[in-house]
Amino acid sequence: MRPAFHRAIVIRPERGQVTALVEDDLHHMKVTLDHDGDVITCVEGEMIRAPWSTCPGATLALAETFTGAALDAAAGVGAKKQNCTHLFDIAVLAAAHARDGPPTRYDLRVEDPVEGMRSMNIARNGEKRMTWTEKDKRFLAPAAIAGLGYKEMGPWIASLSPADAEMARLLRGVAVISHGRQIPMEKQSDATRIPPNCHTFQPGQREQAVRVSGIHDFTTAIHGPLDGLP
């Protein structure tokens, strides 16, 4: 099997509560939302594994951002850059699936590039649903996105069904962050040199941030991300 970035997401709705978990090479996090069927009443985030010493502080921003928000409006609450973007994204997923019956699991895999080319896919509940091919950050396949870069995919994603759009956004996001596997650790361990795209990299946080976790390569691991969950 070719080396690859792996991510798993599991969303588990229950009566009045929904939990979402994410695990990948760099992160293992959990969000629990309590709700009354319409509005989020309580938010709890947990950093099980995070790359920076300052990441756990983002759980406070998460609670402030989503508490009191309508489930149907969670995707538009804003303030993503003040949050941990990974906690933020799974909180949005949790809200979107809060009224579901059974759990939902996503498994994503993005191969390391060979001569600039790589393949990536997403499976939902064990069924592979999308496979894309990319070369030098431009997509070759499927035909609907051929020639597009990450920032040009918005109109195509908006044309999809809600379920397919959700998967496309997840796969695009993983395609972007997976590039970190090709960056030497010493070049991605100074938070002051990274743009302020999340909680840890904001002024006042980045000066204090210390790298505490490296890359966990699931390609060679005995267990995959979130193994044992639905």
pLDDT in tens, 138-189: 999 999 999 999 999 999 999 999 999 999 999 999 999 998 888 888 888 9
Please give the pLDDT value at position 39: 98
DSSP for 179-208, written as a single string: GGGGS-GGGS--GGGS-S-SGGGSTTTTTT
Please give the pLDDT value at position 102: 96
What's the rounded Cα separation, in Å, for the pair 221 and 158?
A: 36
Kindly tell me if the per-residue pLDDT of 1 is higher than 80. Answer: no
- Per cent of the chain over pLDDT 70 is 100
Helix (H, G, I), strand (E, B) or coil at 174: helix
What phi and psi values does residue 171 have, to the nearest 5 degrees?
-70, -40
- Model-level pTM? 0.95
- Give residue 40's pLDDT band: very low, low, confident or very high (50, 70, 90): very high
Residues 66-94: pLDDT tens digits? 999 999 999 999 889 999 999 999 999 99
Helix (H, G, I), strand (E, B) or coil at 149: coil
Q: Which two three-digit tokens encode residue 220?
A: 């060679």
Sign of CA dihedral 171, 150, 64, 189: positive
Mean pLDDT of 219-226: 88
Residue 22 contacts residue 90 (beta carbons within 8 Å): yes
Q: Measured in Å, how far apart are the chain's first and last C-alpha atoms?
A: 24
Kindly tell me if the per-residue pLDDT of 214 is higher than 90. Answer: no
Kindly tell me if the per-residue pLDDT of 59 is higher than 80. Answer: yes
Strand pairing report for 104-111 and 4-14: antiparallel
CA proximity to 63, closest of 84, 36, 93, 37: 84
